[in-house]
């Protein structure tokens, strides 16, 4: 696949990196991000100019719907959270006919029917970035600090997060209200029923504005 390899390398030479040029949220809870539109525009030109295209050829989807009753102004209302995760496949095709299959993963949560769109968009954007090794924003180089230079804090209190269970999803409103301890741990993770759950950046920002959030105890 000599032609395909050359084209991929040319794209990597053109797309050296992308900035987090969009501001999400306001105040202390705001963070920098990269929009799908910006990623698609950059790669659209780079792929076209090098005789490449990428085609979606497969998707495996799982959807979990959580419903519960919540009191509002003295009335009981039904609420729901729709969590969707997808495993995707794409075909990176060169004009010579050479091709290679790519894989992606994404997840999204919504109160109605937008979870699937969020999940597939997330999967496609990251497939492009990972395939062409495109750095986004500032990258922390772990080689700049030796492990011996990192002080281990004394274990003065019982460890709360030595769990091995792991899930990648956004937590439901019911879980936030009834089971979340108000803490956000490293890697965008929280704990529900003693299980580590890695949530999206979007939900992290919402949790920081929740009444239960304990910023002074952030890990």
Domain ranges of the chain: 164-219
Rounded distance, CA 76 to CA 73, Å?
8
Instruction: Tally the residues of the chain.
Output: 219
Q: What's the pTM?
A: 0.58
Q: Is the pLDDT of residue 205 over 90?
A: no
For the cut 90, the answer to whether the pLDDT of residue 93 exceeds it is: yes
pLDDT computed for residue 76 by the predictor: 85
- Considering only CA atoms, which of 92, 125, 90, 114 is closest in space to residue 18? 125
Interatomic CA distance for residues 174 and 214, integer angstroms: 18
Q: Tens digits of per-residue pLDDT, 133-178?
A: 998 875 444 444 555 555 555 655 444 444 444 678 888 888 888 8
């Amino acid at each position: 696949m000599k032609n395909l390899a050359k084209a991929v390398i040319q794209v990597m030479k053109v797309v050296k990196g992308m900035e987090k040029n969009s501001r999400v949220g306001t105040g202390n809870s705001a963070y920098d991000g990269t929009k799908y539109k910006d990623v698609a525009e950059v790669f659209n030109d780079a792929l076209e100019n090098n005789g490449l295209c990428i085609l979606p050829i497969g998707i495996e989807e799982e959807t979990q719907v959580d419903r519960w009753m919540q009191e509002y102004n003295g009335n009981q209302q039904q609420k729901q959270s729709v969590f969707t995760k997808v495993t995707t496949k794409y075909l990176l095709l060169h004009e010579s006919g050479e091709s290679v299959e790519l894989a992606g993963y994404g997840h999204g949560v919504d109160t109605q029917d937008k979870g699937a769109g969020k999940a597939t968009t997330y999967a496609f954007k990251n497939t492009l970035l990972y395939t062409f090794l495109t750095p986004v924003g500032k990258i922390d180089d772990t080689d700049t600090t030796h492990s011996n230079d990192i002080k281990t804090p004394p274990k003065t209190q019982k460890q709360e997060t030595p769990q091995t269970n792991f899930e990648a999803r956004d937590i439901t409103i019911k879980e936030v209200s009834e089971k979340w301890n108000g803490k956000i741990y490293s890697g965008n993770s929280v704990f529900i029923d003693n299980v580590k759950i890695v949530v999206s950046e979007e939900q992290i920002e919402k949790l920081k504005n929740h009444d239960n959030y304990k910023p002074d105890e952030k890990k």
